[in-house]
Structure formats: C-alpha cells, structure tokens
Structure 1
Amino acid sequence: MLDICLLGTCGMMPLPGRWLSCMLVRSGSHLTLFDCGEGTQVPWKSLGWGFRQLGAICFSHMHADHVAGLPGVLFMVAHAGRTEPLHIYGPHGTAYVVEGLRRIAAELPFPIHIHELKGGEQFELPGKLQARCVPASHGIPCLAYRVDLHRQPAFQADQARALDIPIQFWKRLQMGETVTHEGRSFEPANVLGEARRGISLAYITDTRPVDALHELARDVDLLVCESMYDNPDDLPLARANSHMLASESAGIAKAAGAHQLLLTHFSPKVNDPSRAEKMARRVFPNTRAAKDGLALSLDYAEN
C-alpha cells in the first residue's frame, strides 16, 4: 500500500489557506517528499505522519516555490532524531541550490547525499519504491517522476507441500532465493505464481505537455499533475510560462491510460479549483482537484 498526501496545492506563492504544491508519499514507515516550497513543514506537522522517517526528497526543479522550504524541513527532521542519511534527487543545479539553502541549516545530525539527474535514470527510494524520471519542459532543468511499488507473485503453498519443501524455507523462496536441502535444489519459480500488478504513481508539474510524459505515466494508478490554469483563454500564458491548462493535464492522463488524475499546483489567480476539475473532466472523467491536506491510499488491485 502507498499513502499519499498533497500537503499544498498552490503554485508561485503560498496563499491564506493554500500552501505551496508538494506531495508526501509513505511506503510502510518510510517517507519520500516531492518538492518542498516555503512552509512545507507546517501542513506536514498538521498531518501527523512524523518527520524522522523522511529518507528522500525529489525536486522537480529549482524555482523557489518548489525548494525554499528545505531548511525548515531539515530542521524538523533533525529535531525528530534522524541520524540515517537523507538522499536528495533533482535536476542539474540541485547541489548548488541545496548547498546555498543549507547555509542556514548547516549543522545536522544526518548526512545528505545529493543526486543530480538528467532524466532517464532509475533509482530506489525508501520503502522498496522503484523510481524513474524524464525531462519536463519548463525552460530550466525540470524532471517528472514515476514511482512503482512492485508486488511479489503469490506463494503457492500447495505446490510447496507437493514438492515436500520444508516450511522453514518457504519465506526464502518467496523472497526470490534459491534453496538447497538434502541434495535437492528448489527455485522460486517452483512455488511462485504468475506476476501480479503492483502500485504506480506519477508526479508531473511545471511543464508543457510533451510525449515523454505520456510514456512516464503509462497505466499508473494515480497521476498527480499540475493545473496552473483552468481557463482555455489562458493558453498563450501557459505556453509563455511553460505550464499547462487543466485540459492539457487531462490529455496526458488520457494518452497515458492513467487510472485517475489528481490536479494540483493551481495559479494564485485560480480561486476555485473545482472549475479546473470540470474542465479536465471533459477530457478525462476520473479527475478531481486536490485540496491542501488531501490524503489517499493506493492498494493492490486484488485488495
């Protein structure tokens, strides 16, 4: 299971009642944060998920509304008692910006490892999450991310009994390990069923719609995507600022075959995000506009 919370949903600047766009993902007890605008620690504190288990931060790009909250979050994680390393991922320029922000958060009880990505890389996030990224189109280096939580095939207990495999070896076989016992060798394939669908999530913000985003979000259970503008008349503005209309975000969801779309990163001029939801639903019906603090869970399909 994956738990997801949209801590904030605003773009450019925080507003009364609307924090800057960022997303927190929980896998088991492990946390990963996507973007970290000014004041991120405030709605996070209200959520009650704690700070100590933050193991990674993934930045889309280095504009202030996505990174300026880093010192405050680092202080909260430090005060929570974390000593394990914290990994930070982002595009070219991430190290320079993080090093600058850390001038006011220099003394921390945990090391920070920075990974600058070009797009196309695959890497592991806390909680056994497999991640990859592609370049977005925003005028500066910017990344969109996908996260997958894979699921092991079901263990076939009847098959294990038929092969007379001692029960103490079942767990090792289930985890993909080959077992040898009394001169006999057993492979995981002997006792595991067919591959099962896992859980997938894509996070796309601050970009024009490009083909790489369709492929990144292919068949995801949830696409979290920017909706900077809701009015079709704002298309020239969206193009000029390298953002998207709600309908364009919905177009990505439709082309990708996503299962559901959650809109976020609304312009300060968008007073009522439900209008963006209505515009997007004309293209992709299973859409809703996120509100600050919205939390939801993604479970395996069979559950």
Structure 2
Amino acid sequence: MLNICLLGCGGGMPMPFRNLSSTLFEYKGRKILLDCGEGTQVSIRMISWGFKSIDVIVISHTHGDHIVGLPGLLSTIGNSGRVDDLTIIGPKGIKEVVENLLIIAKYLPYKINILENEEEINLKLNKEKGLEVNDKEWDLKINSIECDHSSPCLGYNFYIKRDRKFNVEKAIKNNVPKLLWNKLQKENSVEFEGKIYNPNMVLGDSRRGIKVSFITDSRPVENMAEFIKESDLFICEGTYGDDKDIEKAIKNKHMTFRESSNLAEKGNVKKLLLTHFSPAMIDPKEYLENIEFPNYIIGEDRLKLSIKFEEENN
C-alpha cells in the first residue's frame, strides 16, 4: 500500500490557509518527497510522519515555490538522526541550485547525491538504509517527462512493483527442490547439482503494481496523456479554475481546471487530484463546473490518500 499526503497545495506564494507545493509518499516505512515549498516542514510535523526516513526528494523545477523549503528541511532531517545518503532528483540545473541553497546548511551528517535530468531511475528498498538507487533491481521506478514551463521542468511517473505470487503446484510440477524455493521467490536464478533453476519455475504471472503520475507547472504537452496512461492517481496542477483565465494560463505556462481534467480523461487515469492553486483563487470549489472528469479530488493541505494493490486471484 502507498500512503500519500498533500502537504501543500498552493502555487506562487504561501497563504495563511495554504502552504506551497509539496507531497509526501510513504511506502513500507520509507518516504519520497515531491517538491519542497515553504511550509513543508510544518505540515510534516502536523501529520507526524517523521523526517529521518525521507530517502528521496524529487523536485519538478527550481522556481522558489517548489524548492525554497529545502535547506531547512535538510537540516531538520540531519537533526533527526539520519546518517545514510539522501538522493535528490530534478531537472537540468538542479545540482547548481541545491549546492547554492546548501550554503546555509553546510554541515549535514549525511551525503547528498544529486541526479539531474534523468529519464529513468530505479530504487531498491534496503531494510537498513531505505530506498537506494540501483542500476539492476528495483522496487520503485521513477520515469520523467519534459514539461512546458518557463524554466526546465519535469513531470514524473512513480511505479511500485508488485511481487509475483509463489506457486507451490508449479514448483512441484517443475521438480524444484524445496531448499531453492526461497531464493527463487526473490526472483534469483539458482544453479544446483548441475541444473539451472529460474524464478519462472515457481512464480505465477506478473501482477499489476501501483502507478502515480505527477505533473505541475506546465502547459498540456502532446505526449502527456500517454505518459500518465492508466495511472491509479494523477496529481496535476490546476493553477486557474476559471476558464476566463486561459490567457493567463498560456502566458504563465500553467493549466486551467478544464485543461487538467481533459488531460486526465485522455490518459484514462483512475483518479485526478488537483493542486497548485493560484493565490488569487481563494476557494477552488467555486469552479467545479469546469472540471470535465468524473473522479476528481480538490486538494487541501494535509489531505491523505492510500492506494492499495489490486486484489487478484493469481
């Protein structure tokens, strides 16, 4: 199960009732943070999810409302007792920006690894050190897409792998020795008494995992619908609720509610979560009539969601 908390749903500048862009994922006790606007630390403290287990921070782009909360957060993570490496992922230019921000957080007790403009990143769950970048194996995969914004900006897909079920009947039918079952269940091939045993000899069919898509600060791009296709949750900016603000959206390279919902429809996603509201939009619910997708949620600070694996028979 993947737990999600929308820490802040504002864009541009913080408001008394709305923090800036930030979302937290929790999976098997480890965490990934998406963007880090002002107010991120406050919301994390309020939901009591903790700081030490934030292993990966993913940044969409380097505008202030998505990243200025980073130095303080990194310091707090250090003060929480973290000593294991932390990974920051972002678009072109993220390395320089993070290094400059760290001038006010120089002495951290852990190493920061920065990955810039990567199309695909594999993360493997280490029981002791959390989510780590791994070239070969993965429990969680991140893909990126270039967005259409006024600075280099990436949208992301997050895939959580679901392990195949062990099939006892299949293992017996294939004469697999019981002492090999555990290793094969972990999807490792094994050589035993001159014979190679592979995971397909004991495992059932592939099972659908969890897919979450995240697009913020962008105009709709032609290949976005395919990128977000059949996501369990599509987290998308809805900077402007009013259709009359379409010219502002085009000029500032953002989306209206109608554009975001049309994108969700084209991508055949299961659920749309709208966020990143303009400071001028006091109550997003005034513009619900402009949403052309049935299964939507209007974001609020500290809104929590959970996504479970689909129940399957195999």
Q: What's the offset of the Cα at 1:124?
A: 2.1
* Structure 2 match to 1:292: 301
Q: 1:245 aligns with which of 247, 256, 261?
A: 256
In 2, the alpha carbon distance for the partners of 1:72 and 1:212 equals 36
User: Are positions 1:56 and 2:56 aligned together?
Assistant: yes
1:181, CA displacement in angstroms? 3.3
Alpha-carbon distance in structure 2 between the residues aligned to 1:23 and 1:277: 23
Alignment-mate amino acid for residue 123 of structure 1: I
Check the 8 A contact 2:33/2:56 in 1, yes or no: yes
Cα distance, 1:183 vs. partner?
4.0
Per-residue CA shift, 1:52-109, capped at 9, x if unaligned? 1111111111100001000111011001111111111111111121111111101000
Determine the structure 2 residue equivalent to 1:158: 169
State how 1:25-64 maps to structure 2 within 5 Å.
25-64=25-64
**Structure 1 partner of 2:202:** 191
Which residue of structure 1 lines up, in the alignment, with residue 188 of structure 2? 177
The Cα offsets for residues 249-278 of structure 1, whole Å up to 9 and x where unpaired, read as: 111111111111000001111111223444
Tell me what 1:143 maps to: 154
- Cα pair 2:239 2:254 within 8 Å, conserved: yes
Higher mean Cα deviation, 45-54 or 155-164?
Answer: 155-164
The reply on whether 1:264 has 2:275 as its aligned counterpart is yes
Alpha carbons 2:233, 2:272 under 8 Å: kept: yes
Question: In the alignment, is residue 123 of structure 1 matched against residue 125 of structure 2?
Answer: no
Alpha-carbon shift at residue 152 of structure 1 (Å):
2.1
User: Which has the larger displacement, 202-211 or 182-191?
Assistant: 182-191
User: How many residues align structurally?
Assistant: 299
What is the match of residue 126 of structure 2?
none
| Partner Cα separation in structure 1 for residue 308 and residue 230 of structure 2 | 15
TM-score where L is the length of structure 2: 0.91
**Does the 8 Å CA contact 1:225/1:263 hold for their aligned counterparts?**
yes
After superposition, where does 1:274-293 map in structure 2 within 5 Å?
A: 274-280=285-291, 283-293=292-302
- Amino acid in structure 2 at the alignment position of 1:148: Y
**For residue 10 of structure 1, what is the aligned residue in structure 2?**
10
Does the CA contact (< 8 Å) of 2:176 and 2:201 recur in 1? no
Report the RMSD for the aligned CA atoms in angstroms.
1.5
Residues 277/30 of structure 1: CA separation in 2 closer, same or farther (3 Å cut): farther
Q: Give per-residue Cα distances to partners, 1:211-237, cap 9 Å, x unaligned.
A: 122122011100000000000000001
User: Partner amino acid for 2:122?
Assistant: E
Alpha-carbon separation, structure 2, partners of 1:29 and 1:244: 34
By how many angstroms is 1:17 displaced?
2.0
Report the equivalent of 2:135.
none
C-alpha distance in structure 2 between counterparts of 1:221 and 1:39, whole Å: 27
Deviations 1:157-190 (A, max 9, x none): 1222334433332221122112233444322111
Shift of 1:33: 0.6
Residue 215, structure 1, aligned to residue 226, structure 2 = yes
Distance in 1, matches of 2:75 and 2:198, equals 47
Q: Which residue of 1 aligns with 2:110?
A: 110
Q: Secondary structure at the match of 1:192?
A: coil
In structure 1, how many angstroms separate the alpha carbons of the residues matched to 2:217 and 2:77?
Answer: 27
Aligned partner of residue 170 in structure 1, secondary structure: helix
Measure the CA separation in 1 of the matches of 2:287 and 2:163: 38
Taking only the aligned residue pairs, the percentage that are identical comes to 40
Instruction: Specify every segment of 5 or more residues in structure 1 that has no aligned partner in the other structure, as ranges.
Output: none
1:156–1:272: structure 2 CA closer, same or farther, 3 Å change rule? same
The alignment partner of 2:258 has SS state of helix
Conserved 8 A contact 1:277-1:288? no
User: Whole-Å Cα distance in 1 between the matches of residues 298 and 82 of structure 2?
Assistant: 34
DSSP 3-state at the match of 1:248: helix
Q: Which moved more, 1:52-61 or 1:267-276?
A: 267-276
CA distance in 1, matches of 2:178, 2:306: 33
Q: Which runs of 5+ in 2 are unaligned?
A: 124-130, 133-138
